[in-house]
Amino acid sequence: MVTAAQQTESGPDAARTFPKDFLWGSATASYQIEGAAAEDGRTPSIWDTYARTPGRVRNGDTGDIATDHYHRWREDVALMADLGLGAYRFSLAWPRIQPTGRGPAVQKGLDFYRRLVDELLEKGIKPVATLYHWDLPQELEDAGGWPERVTAERFAEYAALAADALGDRVKTWTTLNEPWCSAFLGYGSGVHAPGRTDPVAALRAAHHLNLGHGLAVQALRDRLSADAQCSVTLNIHHVRPLTGGDADADAVRRIDALANRVFTGPMLQGAYPEDLLKDTAALTDWSFVRDGDLQQIHQPLDFLGVNYYTPTLVSEADGSGTHNSDGHGKSAHSPWPGADQVAFHQPPGDTTAMGWAIDPTGLYDLLRRLASDFPTLPLVITENGAAFDDYADPSGCVKDPERIAYLRGHLAAVHQAVADGADVRGYFLWSLLDNFEWGHGYGKRFGAVYVDYPTGTRIPKASARWYSEVARTGILPGA
């Protein structure tokens, strides 16, 4: 089959029209944009601690100020309205709402999100709230973090506080963003907060993130109206073999289990994959999974959030490649417990400033797989975008034709997947603003809107105007 994405790459193609009710938005995360790290009762998260640890983040950057969204939120909502966005996916900062990870909520923290949501609604922009985008209260990490069951229980209590405060305004909720990163980069390779390097802790964290998700969905359902929607966002890896050999096919199987099925299995099917348990048996007997956990985790969802940036290319470990996947940061420790015999390779083709291969066919193939595996579950692209070396020219304009080409190719892939039967309901561009890009600090720019960090000035890039037209009309122009 020749996909729409492939047609886009090979030459001009016709304009494509998306369904009328297709949702167009953009996304951010609290620690990456809010700043105000010590205001109104907020206490440190694991990312505050991690970023302030020498050598962890490029140039010693932190999210203390970030893009100062905490003070400039009204300006940012006006930008969204000007761009014609129909929805805004943002995350709540757990330590801003519940600073110690337990006990009552801090009203000043909740008031910030109340004001933000009210402004969004006034501008006709649908708020989509994510409960957890990696900023665990440091006190909970000090008590053991995600490898401990109590963190999942605390997460459900926090979800209840958020729903009680915002459930009358927010009708679409996401429990976790990319739990793979939280578990395996945070506790396995150590290139994300909290920076631990223990493969068993990473597997324990994955389970307790799953459990926290299930408990949080139940807490949300208990408090939200019947028309509210609950979801989770996973960075489903599209894993491809380097060759057609059996050994490389087994490498794909192993990484698919650790990257994808460790979450989709319990969340969407009520069980961990048997091959995952077998692959990791030398590390753990999985006795941290208690009776009843899988029933708690396996909760009905209204849609699955899908984050995609680039495919993953693997082979049997033969001395080539690396033990890690590219783009997440260098570490002597692997984020792939039980997969020492797998090597990772750079996919062919052009790359973004992150070094990630640009390949829209991976998104098409991924959506088709998900539609086949979970045919009754709607899908939403909750993150897709690219970092490039953007700059403001002397006239104050930011021209980013590479990002426009990236978006056109990936949106063409989404359109083709929909045409071929995938139930994709929306697309959220990552990101609204340039921001703190985790271990890369402020050195990588994903935003549709350029941020001059010394002044905080926002400048919509050429891609923002291009995406605005797509969002307003639902029509993807030809190349």
Q: Give strand pairing partners of 430.
A: 27
Q: Amino acid identity, residue 138?
A: Q
Cα separations in angstroms, 187 against 145, 203, 321: 10, 9, 23
Computed on alpha carbons and rounded to an integer, the radius of gyration of the chain in Å comes to 21
Q: Give strand pairing partners of 232.
A: 304
Structure tokens that stand for 307 in this block: 């984050």
Burial zone of 408 (CB within 10 Å; 0-12 exposed, 13-18 middle, 19+ buried): buried
Q: Which of 108, 102, 79, 86 is nearest to 19 (CA)?
A: 86
Is residue 44 a contact partner of residue 449, using CB atoms and an 8 Å limit? no
CB neighbour burial string for 310-328, b if at least 16 within 10 angstroms, e if fewer: bbbbbbbbeeebebbbbbb
**DSSP assignment of 318-363:** SSSSBSS-TTS---SS-SSTT-TTEEEEPPSS-B-TTS-B--HHHH
Burial zone of 399 (CB within 10 Å; 0-12 exposed, 13-18 middle, 19+ buried): middle
Q: How many CA atoms lie within 13 A of 3 on its CB side?
A: 24
Cα separations in angstroms, 28 against 128, 316, 387, 415, 464: 11, 36, 14, 24, 15
Q: Amino acid identity, residue 470?
A: V
Is residue 271 a contact partner of residue 363, using CB atoms and an 8 Å limit? no
Q: Give strand pairing partners of 87.
A: 25, 126
- Alpha-carbon 219 to chain mean position: 22
Active site residues: 178, 383
Number of helices (H), then strands (E), in the chain: 17, 15
